[in-house]
Structure 1
């Protein structure tokens, strides 16, 4: 019952869920396909403020580059392990699901590190 009290008017941001795959572009130097984040679904979300203890218990001991957001309950989004917010790619660390009527799921996201 905790997350269904979230106000729908706070869902003012957009997040895209998807995965890393071929972008349809080719590297001009090698001719190989360029991989990158490809969005499959876009939804609105709202930010959540959590205490340090809540964040640690939700996402493990890593606090750096972690976000907790609320999204209207949608089981179709559970298949995605990556998300993009404002051009930054995040990994879905955990989902706190609430399956009640008009419920919201809490997603813990951690910034995806890339090694070039």
Structure 2
């Protein structure tokens, strides 16, 4: 989506990492929605696979994990619009180090409908 690339050197921002995740899921033929809008904002990516929903939020941090990716999913209620579907929902926060350019945190929380 346009928001991933607008006015920034993509390799330094979350859009770069979101694009990598998206390309892998899309190549597998999985149902992927990017910049999935809700009343409170947009979760970076939603994956609907095998009767489960996976909501991803990506963040680039300086060096150390901050827990902000998973916290944003919960604080903004991104899962709320899916609760009535009755599918298991998995919230996934992924943080990348700006300096090291690798994953420094990968947090998962399961939501009960």
Query: Smaller-chain TM-score range?
Result: 0.3 to 0.5
Answer with 1 or 2: which has the greater Rg: 1
Larger RCO: Structure 1 or Structure 2 (Cα < 8 Å, ≥ 6 residues apart)?
Answer: 1
Normalising by structure 2, we get a TM-score of 0.33
Normalising by structure 1, we get a TM-score of 0.32
Larger helix share, 1 or 2: 2
Larger strand share, 1 or 2: 1
